């Protein structure tokens, strides 16, 4: 351990435990997170490029990308608006039931996805409380892509609320007082003064919600109907290939999903890093 401690890069390191915590962390990350990903590449190595391309561009698979991305985009937009509204109301106003509403925001993270899945499917089926109201009006939610978007929006709403909320809280009262005293209307003041402050957080939260929606499985499969080409999501495609023992096919599609979600995660991290630096630069 003393050997490792001489690798120090910062100022004098008085605290112990560098070697131990480094050892545990690196061992864990290697074994639990990185090693399994090599299994995926091992499987892919058995495929030629042409075979790989054929699998990931097959009609039914491409249709599943479209369904997944389209529904996730709709869910993200809904969440951006609804999440901003909720964060605003929770930060700016006092009203009875506020603490309860705040606690309720975390429900989608705490509730197992399969529970959310069967509940939404039951509520929005034609015999359910919501489906019974909506279907006579011509809105079919269950077993359509609308249901998929709804399930995605449900599971990812906390990302937007919990990212925007702290930024709104930190906004000093003088900011909007100044705007209001100069005679701006609520709408103009919000757009010109509040939005520029919170939009990096709003984009981050919406981005995280979108990434989560792309990979969501449990909440969606019950309400989706899972019709090939119509309401089949990519995560389910992987699952179907696995049940057919088509490991190569499952891996090829999974590699696309993995690549896209890691790229998006990295983009969000870089984006957030820039935004945080800018904030600190502005303050100090």
Partner 1 sequence: MRRIGDAPVVRRLLIGAALVLSALFLLLPLVAIFAQAFSEGVMVFWANVSNTFTLHAIGLTLMIALLTIPVCLVFGVALAWLVTRFSFPGRRILQTLIDIPFAVSPVVAGLIYLLLYGRNGWIGTWLDGYDIQLMFSWPGILMVTIFVTCPFVARELIPLMQAQGSREEEAAVTLGASGWTTFRRVTLPNIRWALLYGVILTNARAVGEFGAVSVVSGAIRGKTNTLPLHLEQLYQDYNAVGAFACAALLAFIALLTLSAKAGLEWRAARREAFA
Which whole-number Å values give the CA distances from 28 to 22, 23, 33, in the listed order? 10, 8, 7
Which stretch in 47-55, 126-134, 138-146, 275-283 sits in contact with partner 1 by CB under 8 A? Answer: 126-134
Residue 33 is a binding residue for partner 1 (CB under 8 A):
yes
Residue 261 is a binding residue for partner 1 (CB under 8 A):
yes
Least separation in angstroms between residue 170's CB and partner 1 is: 14
Contact pick of 266, 274, 276, 278 for partner 1 (by CB under 8 A)? 266
Which stretch in 40-48, 51-59, 69-77, 198-206 sits in contact with partner 1 by CB under 8 A? Answer: 40-48
Which whole-number Å values give the CA distances from 45 to 90, 127, 142, 251, in the listed order? 51, 49, 40, 10
What is the crossing angle of helices 145-170 and 59-92, to 10°? 40
Q: Which residues contact 162 (CB under 8 A, 6 or more apart)?
A: 105, 106, 205
- Which of 79, 225, 230, 64 shows the shortest CA–CA distance to 141? 225
Contact pick of 62, 66, 107, 227 for partner 1 (by CB under 8 A)? 107
Site string for partner 1, 67-96 (x = CB under 8 A): ---------------x--xx-xxx-xx-x-
Name residues contacting partner 1, limited to 169-228 (CB under 8 A): 173, 176-177, 179-181, 186, 189-190, 193-194, 211-212, 214-218, 222
Residue 282 is a binding residue for partner 1 (CB under 8 A):
no
**Cβ closest to partner 1, residue 176 vs residue 232:** 176
- Within 10 Å of residue 112's Cβ, how many Cβ atoms? 9
Contact 230, 67 (CB under 8 A): yes
**Encoded tokens for 198:** 């919170």
Least separation in angstroms between residue 247's CB and partner 1 is: 6
Residue 166 is a binding residue for partner 1 (CB under 8 A):
no
* Binding residues for partner 1, total number by CB under 8 A: 103
Which stretch in 12-20, 53-61, 69-77, 139-147 sits in contact with partner 1 by CB under 8 A? Answer: 12-20
DSSP string, 50-61: HHHHHHHT-HHH
């Amino acid at each position: 351990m003393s050997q490792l401690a001489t690798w120090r890069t910062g100022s004098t390191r008085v605290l112990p435990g560098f070697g131990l915590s480094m050892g545990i962390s690196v061992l864990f990350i290697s074994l639990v997170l990185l090693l399994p990903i090599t299994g995926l590449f091992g499987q892919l190595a058995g495929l030629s490029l042409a075979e790989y391309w054929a699998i990931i561009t097959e009609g039914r698979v491409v249709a599943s990308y479209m369904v997944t991305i389209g529904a996730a985009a709709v869910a993200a937009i809904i969440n951006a608006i609804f999440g901003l509204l909720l964060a605003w109301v929770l930060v700016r106003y006092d009203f009875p039931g506020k603490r309860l509403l705040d606690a309720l925001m975390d429900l989608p993270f705490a509730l197992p996805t399969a529970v959310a899945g069967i509940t939404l499917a039951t509520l929005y089926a034609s015999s359910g409380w919501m489906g019974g109201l909506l279907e006579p009006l011509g809105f079919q939610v269950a077993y359509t892509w609308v249901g998929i978007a709804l399930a995605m929006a449900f599971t990812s709403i906390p990302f937007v609320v919990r990212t925007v909320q702290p930024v709104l809280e930190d906004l000093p009262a003088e900011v909007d007082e100044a705007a209001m005293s100069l005679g701006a209307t609520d709408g103009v003041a919000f757009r010109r003064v509040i939005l520029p402050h919170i939009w990096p957080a709003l984009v981050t939260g919406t981005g995280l919600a979108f990434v989560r929606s792309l990979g969501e499985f449990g909440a969606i499969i019950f309400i989706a109907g899972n019709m090939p080409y119509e309401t089949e999501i990519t995560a389910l495609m992987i699952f179907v290939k696995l049940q057919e023992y088509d490991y190569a096919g499952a891996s090829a599609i999974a590699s696309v999903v993995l690549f896209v979600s890691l790229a998006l995660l990295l983009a969000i991290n870089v984006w957030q890093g820039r935004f945080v630096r800018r904030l600190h630069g502005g303050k100090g």
